[in-house]
Structure 1
Amino acid sequence: MLPVRDDLPTRSPAFVNWMLIGLNVAAFITQVAGEATSHDGSFLDGLALVPANFVAHPLASLPSLFGHMFLHGGLSHIAGNMLFLWIFGDNVEDALGHGRYALFYVSCGLAAAFAQIAGSPHATIPMVGASGAIAGVLAAYGVLYPRSPIRVVNPVPLLWLFWGFFLSLPAWFVIAEFFVANLWNALHANAASGGVAFLAHVGGFLAGYAFLRALQVHQAVEHASWQGVLPNRRDERRAD
């Protein structure tokens, strides 16, 4: 299920979240330009995280722990990640505060990287992407706003005739589906099957849940509860 928006307000502008999106986009543009002039892929040397290299030379590979979070494997990769960050990140920042949110995001990304390294210490496939950090953001959103309505693309074309192209589902359901799908793939696929680092997603998600619990952060704003599957469903009122 692909989420497209939520309806939660924030008390203050989520400038850290927008900064993270801007950094990722700027890094991707720089990456594409660099790859265009470096056909052998050397532009990514030292920035993409390679588990085997980190295990062999941890100090020399330290820049990749941070650099890999701002690189992406293609336009669809960064578009999907930034969509998730745009939908869920602002409300998590609102609950944590700007400084703690920045630290939370980076910490989740590092935890995701270490989960991937621990699960595949001899892998030589470079890992890039903000997915691990964003998985932590999803976990935090699910804890803070489990009943928040999330608009998703209806995954069953036949149901478009009855419920339309979009569905409204509770956040806990959408986020649980994300976690279960990634956990299943992490347990039943290769460490980076199909170019996806499922272990990093699972590690980032669990870290986000643990970090949020440790911070003892509570819901920041009131929000409308999920009312049903139909996107524009209204309460039925009986005239007296």
Structure 2
Amino acid sequence: MFIPLHDHNSWEHVVSPVVTWGLILANVAIFLMVQGAGLGDAGHASVYSYGLIPSVFFDQKDLPFALDAVPAGWSVVTYAFLHADFMHLIGNMLFLWVFGDNVEDAMGHVRFLVFYLLCAAAGGLAYAVSAYGSDVPLIGASGAVSGVVAAYLMLHPKVKVWVLALGRIPLRLSAQWLLGAWVAYQIFNAVFAQESRVAWSAHIGGLAAGAVLVVFLRRSGVRLFDRGL
């Protein structure tokens, strides 16, 4: 749909968005070191060991001992640090890079980390419920990143964002139109997309969590919807 590049939105409360940077580094490191860049036995095994499998999460089935790396309940978060390939990783990390810093600025480091993990969990739970009984594992930071997008949209709808539309056309648009269209696209696909490899329900879960949590986790005095800009 579009590739985010840069927003003209300075930080007001933090010196550096260290949690956002740390999350990006963690995702990249896990993809390379734990998943073997998504290739071979390491890439395949990690998906089942740390991904969110609804049938395992709800104790309907058990993983083989060799793949049972973490308690099933933990997978509601661990899945969000795995990716299928480089494009999957880069896409999620670009969104986190462009929009995560300002959400972290609005919340503070610790609250932003809690926010990110809760959005990941909400996305994972939404998928697990919608795909109840499925053996198909969920991986990717999209649920958590969707929460970041929802928070950014509620905090800074008037900010201009540079993107590549259709992967090649540079455009500078207000976040309210750009991210609003992105949210609508997620909802449309969640309702109408059939047999898609994309877990749209996880995106919706993350979006809903992000929209609610930003109201309570933002710093005192931080206004929503760019009021006073």
Alignment-derived partner of residue 54 in structure 2: 51
SS in 2 for 1:5: strand
Shift of 1:213: 1.7
Ranges in structure 2 where 5+ consecutive residues have no aligned partner: 62-69
Mean Cα deviation higher: 115-124 or 18-27: 115-124
Mean Cα deviation higher: 120-129 or 88-97: 120-129
What CA deviation, in whole Å up to 9, does each residue of 1:89-142 have, x standing for no partner? 000000000010000000000011111111111221110001000100001100
* Matching of residue 7 in structure 1 with residue 8 in structure 2: yes
The 2-side partners of 1:153 and 1:44 are apart by 31
Change (3 A) 1:21 1:39: closer
Q: 2:37, 2:43 within 8 Å by CA — same for their partners in 1?
A: no
Shift of 1:22: 0.4
Q: 2:51, 2:139 within 8 Å by CA — same for their partners in 1?
A: yes
Divergent runs of 4+, >3 A: 34-37, 57-60, 154-157
Q: 1:46, 1:63 within 8 Å by CA — same for their partners in 2?
A: no
Change (3 A) 1:118 1:166: same
CA RMSD of aligned residues (A): 2.6
Change (3 A) 1:40 1:202: closer
SS in 2 for 1:56: coil
Shift of 1:35: 5.7
The correspondence of residues 85-96 of structure 1 with structure 2, limited to 5 A, is 85-96=96-107
The correspondence of residues 82-161 of structure 1 with structure 2, limited to 5 A, is 82-155=93-166
Instruction: Work out the percentage of aligned pairs sharing the same amino acid.
Output: 33
Q: 1:34, 1:43 within 8 Å by CA — same for their partners in 2?
A: no
Q: 1:136, 1:207 within 8 Å by CA — same for their partners in 2?
A: yes
Aligned AA (2:199): A
So what's the TM-score if we normalise by structure 1? Answer: 0.81
Q: 1:14, 1:98 within 8 Å by CA — same for their partners in 2?
A: yes
Structure with higher Rg: it is: 1
Match of 2:23 among 15, 20, 25: 20
Alignment-derived partner of residue 236 in structure 1: none
The 2-side partners of 1:125 and 1:40 are apart by 15
Shift of 1:34: 7.8
Ranges in structure 1 where 5+ consecutive residues have no aligned partner: 158-164, 226-240
So what's the TM-score if we normalise by structure 2? Answer: 0.85
